[in-house]
Chain A
């Protein structure tokens, strides 16, 4: 018989040092394990924030972000939000994914994000609405669209509404189509969104 039964499932290699100290370790595996050990510990947010700011290894950054998600309080969201402005696309994408995993906790942060002076931040913030409760996401995105001057930001919000929007979005979308009549791709995207939301052919 070539198959053997293992004596145990594998020894644990849990570090005996403190996770706080390990977060500063020059060894990436130690930092990775430390970040994972902090998952869900609210008092670890400052240490995780400091670690995230200096962490160069994507795999370890990912574990730090997961630890912050597991905490999921306003303090951990405050840590993640500045990374929406990162010049590194990978970091921005990681921050969006992390924040999307906290659809309820992110809600109070959405109005300032959707009215941010930087159109890139407003555009990324629309993506955070995708996992939110439908009526809440619809309200937030419609408020944005009503006043948004940038067609790309509107397009991003419309893309999210196409999936999650409710019937309440239809008047806002009609007004948006009229406002951007000279930008043909937007009225087209809006017609698709409206047909999906209403369940009728455009």
Chain B
């Protein structure tokens, strides 16, 4: 949907009942939940989308949204989420990785074995590089295993940027000066390029989550980070993506989704695993079902 379509952003009255109806829809569709205290936040974004789509009322916009005309749901979700990515985003999952998940995985593996971690979609690389940095800084067993990290995305331009590994200050805002000093070098334009050794340690590939043949190349991952992408798919595609991800994991392997996503609403294939730092999903070790 062309955001210029609606012209002015005149305010449209949205009643409490309509907001409640919208919130129920949004929760059912995406898992995103907003309390009444976030009313200002919801109203502002709804008003913007109503104006951007040229809708004359909440009812008209809601109807457009439900039928997903012009992929409006994607525009809406984009307006409700912070799209800008950065290093150490959703840090609790990285903590969970080194405090719980990897220790569980290596309890079944000899030292020297290979651990495989997949970041899909990896966009411009902040996430796979964050995984690498976090492991080196926070996992005492990091030298005892060979760790392969693969970053995949459907967008080849993003992959090229990821391989280049050049970031501005905002992407690095969660990293300490010490880490920036040790793993980045300054380049032109006030940007920072991640260390060549780290760039060379991550394999970047193109992959489409809902292309089963494409996904058959990817197997035996111990841990998958698949954050904030399933919310964009329709029900049929989400099921297919869940099955594809299941095939890519080793039995006993884990998958981390975005904070507003729940595998339980998508597929019964995975078991919910609650850890102190995060809720993740596990492919059962011995799969009887």
- Give residues in A with beta carbon < 8 Å to B: 1-6, 8-14, 28, 36-37, 39, 57-59, 62-63, 66, 69-70, 72, 94, 97, 100-102, 131, 133-135, 162-164, 166-167, 195-201
CB-defined A-B contacts under 8 Å, sample of 6: A5-B148, A5-B200, A9-B219, A162-B21, A163-B24, A199-B17
Chain B contacts with A in 183-240, Cβ cutoff 8 A = 197-198, 200-203, 205, 212, 216-221, 234-236, 239-240
Q: Which of A6, A72, A134 contacts B63 (CB 8 A)?
A: A134
In the complex, which residues of chain B have a beta carbon less than 8 angstroms from the beta carbon of A196? 17-18, 20-21
B168 at the interface (CB under 8 A from A): no
B267 at the interface (CB under 8 A from A): yes
Report whether B289 and A2 are in contact in the complex, using a CB–CB cutoff of 8 Å.
no
Complex Cα distance A134/B202, Å? 47
In the complex, which residues of chain A have a beta carbon less than 8 angstroms from the beta carbon of B63? 134-135, 166
Report whether A10 and B219 are in contact in the complex, using a CB–CB cutoff of 8 Å.
yes
In the complex, which residues of chain B have a beta carbon less than 8 angstroms from the beta carbon of A94? 268
B28 at the interface (CB under 8 A from A): yes
Q: Which of A36, A39, A97, A199 contacts B235 (CB 8 A)?
A: A97
**Known A2-B145, A4-B146, A4-B201: A14·B216 in contact at CB below 8 Å:** yes
B95 at the interface (CB under 8 A from A): no
**Known A3-B201, A14-B216: A199·B58 in contact at CB below 8 Å:** yes
Interface residues on B, range: 35 or more
Cβ contacts B25-57/A at 8 Å (1 or 0 each): 100100000000000000000000000000000
**Known A199-B17, A201-B17: A101·B235 in contact at CB below 8 Å:** yes
Chain B contacts with A in 133-180, Cβ cutoff 8 A = 135-136, 142-143, 145-150, 152
Report whether B146 and A163 are in contact in the complex, using a CB–CB cutoff of 8 Å.
no
**A19: min CB distance to chain B, Å:** 12
Report whether B218 and A10 are in contact in the complex, using a CB–CB cutoff of 8 Å.
yes
A-B contact count (CB 8 A): 129
Complex Cα distance A101/B143, Å? 46
Report whether B148 and A70 are in contact in the complex, using a CB–CB cutoff of 8 Å.
no
Report whether A12 and B132 are in contact in the complex, using a CB–CB cutoff of 8 Å.
no
In the complex, which residues of chain A have a beta carbon less than 8 angstroms from the beta carbon of B221? 10
In the complex, which residues of chain B have a beta carbon less than 8 angstroms from the beta carbon of A133? 66-67
**Known A133-B66, A134-B67: A3·B218 in contact at CB below 8 Å:** no
Report whether A101 and B66 are in contact in the complex, using a CB–CB cutoff of 8 Å.
no
In the complex, which residues of chain A have a beta carbon less than 8 angstroms from the beta carbon of B58? 199
Complex Cα distance A9/B14, Å? 50
In the complex, which residues of chain B have a beta carbon less than 8 angstroms from the beta carbon of A131? 235
Report whether B236 and A59 are in contact in the complex, using a CB–CB cutoff of 8 Å.
no
**A62: min CB distance to chain B, Å:** 7
Report whether B142 and A59 are in contact in the complex, using a CB–CB cutoff of 8 Å.
no
Max count, chain B CB within 10 A of own CB: residue among A63, A72, A100, A166: A63
- Which chain B residue shows the least CB distance to A13? B219
B107 at the interface (CB under 8 A from A): no
Report whether B236 and A3 are in contact in the complex, using a CB–CB cutoff of 8 Å.
no
**A79: min CB distance to chain B, Å:** 15
In the complex, which residues of chain A have a beta carbon less than 8 angstroms from the beta carbon of B288? 57
**B173: min CB distance to chain A, Å:** 24
B59 at the interface (CB under 8 A from A): yes
B116 at the interface (CB under 8 A from A): yes
B4 at the interface (CB under 8 A from A): no
**B43: min CB distance to chain A, Å:** 14
Apart from the given pairs A8-B217, A62-B239, 18 other A-B contacts in the complex at a CB distance below 8 Å: A1-B201, A2-B135, A4-B114, A6-B150, A10-B116, A10-B218, A10-B221, A28-B287, A58-B268, A62-B268, A66-B236, A100-B235, A133-B66, A163-B25, A167-B59, A196-B17, A196-B20, A200-B15
Q: Which 5 A-B pairs have the closest CB atoms?
A: A10-B219, A3-B201, A101-B235, A6-B148, A101-B236
Q: Which of A101, A135, A163, A200 contacts B239 (CB 8 A)?
A: A101
Complex Cα distance A97/B239, Å? 10
Max count, chain B CB within 10 A of own CB: residue among A9, A70, A198, A200: A9
- Which chain B residue shows the least CB distance to A135? B63
Report whether A11 and B18 are in contact in the complex, using a CB–CB cutoff of 8 Å.
no
Complex Cα distance A70/B21, Å? 30
- Which chain B residue shows the least CB distance to A130? B28
In the complex, which residues of chain B have a beta carbon less than 8 angstroms from the beta carbon of A201? 15-17
Report whether A66 and B148 are in contact in the complex, using a CB–CB cutoff of 8 Å.
no
Q: Which of A10, A14, A164, A199 contacts B18 (CB 8 A)?
A: A199
B91 at the interface (CB under 8 A from A): no
